[in-house]
A and B are shown apart, each in its own frame.
Chain A
Amino acid sequence: MPVQYYIFLSIALFCIGVMGVLMRRNAIIIFMCVELMLNAVNLLLVAFSKMWADAGRVDAGGAQIFVFFIMVVAAAEVAAGLAIIVMVYRNSQSVDINIMNRLKN
């Protein structure tokens, strides 16, 4: 099976994530779209790992370790990010991303 299929699928998922970040104003949805983009990249890394493993490379597992670390960072990011969103909601009763305009002045 051509690895191109996985490249196209990852591109589609990544661009859907980008569209979501640009189109929505709900901070939680934007956050979820960032997770979607991270997962598109993970999928691509795993596909390339399989490609290198098929080619007989012994170090192809490195890509999967990289995916593992991306998951670790994503989990930490969600913990801190959701705490920030809850804090913003508590102060302004809204998760509208435009609230952040107030930081300007």
Chain B
Amino acid sequence: MGMSLQQIVFGVLSIISIISALGVILSKNPVTSVLCLIVTFFTIAGHYIMLNAQFLAVVHIIVYAGAIMVLFLFVIMLMNLNAEIEPQKRNWLKYAGAISGGALLLVLLGALREAEVTPLQSGSTEIGLISNLGKTLFNQYVVPFEVSSILFLSAMVGAVVIGKREA
């Protein structure tokens, strides 16, 4: 049975995203971790496009690659961190962390392997287009939208207050 183009693209994107996600947690240099995470975010944006969520893909790239990761990179370079002063956990703690993460992986895989879900159609849907999402957002979710603006304002004020030197 041949693989469809969709499955090939999915496979390539998934392999890249998992390898770069492993790079985030395994690399000793924080800057390398940030770059790996940016690669992961771009592959996730590719998945969004494959799932007909075009608006979310664009927002994802703008917010994560454009704002959040730049902020991370900025902080890391400001602190001048490098691999030499990187704090290391004791070895058995690392193994314990890896084993418990792997156990969680196994439990989730085992629990959801038999889940009854309908397969995705290869045709495209209109649901992720900005006009449809905008209608949903401003018809059904106006109040959460406004509340999130207050959340942003408080986060902004909080960041400034925390970052201020000795108030």
Q: Which single residue of chain B is at the shortest CB-CB distance from A36?
A: B21
Q: Provide the residues of chain A in CB contact with B113, threshold 8 Å.
A: 4
Q: Provide the residues of chain A in CB contact with B158, threshold 8 Å.
A: 79-80, 83
- On whether the beta carbons of A64 and B152 are closer than 8 Å, the reply is no
The one of B87, B144, B160 that contacts A98, using a Cβ cutoff of 8 Å: B87
Compute how far the CA of A46 lies from the CA of B132 in the bound complex, rounded to whole angstroms.
15
Query: Measured between C-beta atoms, what is the minimum distance from B73 to chain A in Å?
Result: 10
Q: Which single residue of chain B is at the shortest CB-CB distance from A14?
A: B108
Compute how far the CA of A64 lies from the CA of B98 in the bound complex, rounded to whole angstroms.
32
Number of interface residues of B (CB under 8 A): 85
- On whether the beta carbons of B87 and A25 are closer than 8 Å, the reply is yes
Interface residues of B in 59-118 (CB under 8 A from A): 59-60, 63-64, 67-68, 71-72, 75-76, 78-79, 81, 86-89, 93-94, 96-98, 100-102, 104-105, 108-109, 112-113, 115, 117-118
- Dominant secondary structure at the A interface: helix
- Dominant secondary structure at the B interface: helix
- On whether the beta carbons of B72 and A32 are closer than 8 Å, the reply is yes
- On whether the beta carbons of A22 and B97 are closer than 8 Å, the reply is yes
The one of A6, A11, A82, A96 that contacts B87, using a Cβ cutoff of 8 Å: A96
- On whether the beta carbons of A26 and B18 are closer than 8 Å, the reply is no
- On whether the beta carbons of B47 and A43 are closer than 8 Å, the reply is yes
The range of chain A's interface size is 35 or more
- On whether the beta carbons of B152 and A72 are closer than 8 Å, the reply is yes
Q: Which single residue of chain A is at the shortest CB-CB distance from B151?
A: A76
- On whether the beta carbons of A1 and B4 are closer than 8 Å, the reply is yes
- On whether the beta carbons of B68 and A74 are closer than 8 Å, the reply is yes
The one of A12, A24, A35, A65 that contacts B136, using a Cβ cutoff of 8 Å: A65
Point out which of A15, A59, A74 has the most chain B C-beta atoms below 10 A from its C-beta: A15
Report B114-147 CB contacts with A as 1/0, cut-off 8 Å: 0101111111010110001100110011001000
- On whether the beta carbons of B118 and A24 are closer than 8 Å, the reply is no
Known A28-B30, A87-B163; further 7 A-B contacts with Cβ < 8 A: A19-B97, A22-B98, A31-B72, A61-B127, A61-B128, A65-B140, A95-B87
Give chain B's interface residues, CB within 8 Å of chain A. Answer: 4, 6-7, 10, 14, 17-18, 21-22, 24-25, 30, 33-34, 37, 40-41, 44, 47-48, 51-53, 55-56, 59-60, 63-64, 67-68, 71-72, 75-76, 78-79, 81, 86-89, 93-94, 96-98, 100-102, 104-105, 108-109, 112-113, 115, 117-123, 125, 127-128, 132-133, 136-137, 140-141, 144, 148, 151-152, 154-156, 158-160, 162-163
